[in-house]
Chain A
């Protein structure tokens, strides 16, 4: 079993819909959580960085962390075709150095 599980998709939504992404993890030592967006043949771009359980909002993006359930989510409101990309969750342990990634979810927003 992988440390971080993420549905590979593809997740196809119509333009304007809410995109809902999530990751589950098994290691309770993970304390810091990130979401990245990666376009084809580009490096990942940081979208959200969170530490504590709860919600964090930035523009159209909302990240949720539920440490008790070992579950994190990313919501994208008013999705646009330009949001079509692969979304990666990543985590770091409290005393750790390396990022542990989910496998990524491919999202397609259709106009």
Chain B
């Protein structure tokens, strides 16, 4: 299968600071990338969908000013958690797909802890 690399795999930051998470498709061009959040023992919760070169589409209830998504190229998307607070601590996962209706491949996930 295709490879999606997510970095960092874990990060600890102080409350009030911002954290950037990168998602790269290593061996294919991703027209669409997705960002998810996952709480312990729960399924994935879609936060936003981004298409290369256009603004991300956020799911209802997700603050776009807090979770900034940039899909600058066909192989890179970033999620920035701005002014992080302890309640933002979670497991964040990205996924990428080549085209509509094709399978999606996931990154390894990033565990964010805000102290």
Interface residues of A (CB under 8 A from B): 31-32, 34, 36, 41-46, 49, 88, 90, 92, 94, 96-99, 101-104
Contacts and interface: CB of A to CB of B under 8 A. Distances in A.
Interface residues of B, number: 23
B26 to A, nearest CB: 14
B32 A97 contact: yes
A96 to B, nearest CB: 8
* Dominant secondary structure at the B interface: strand
Contacts of A43: 4, 6, 93, 95, 106-109
A45 B91 CA distance: 16
A98 B104 CA distance: 10
B100 interface: yes
B101 A32 contact: yes
9 contacts: A32-B103, A41-B91, A43-B93, A43-B95, A43-B109, A44-B95, A98-B34, A101-B43, A102-B43
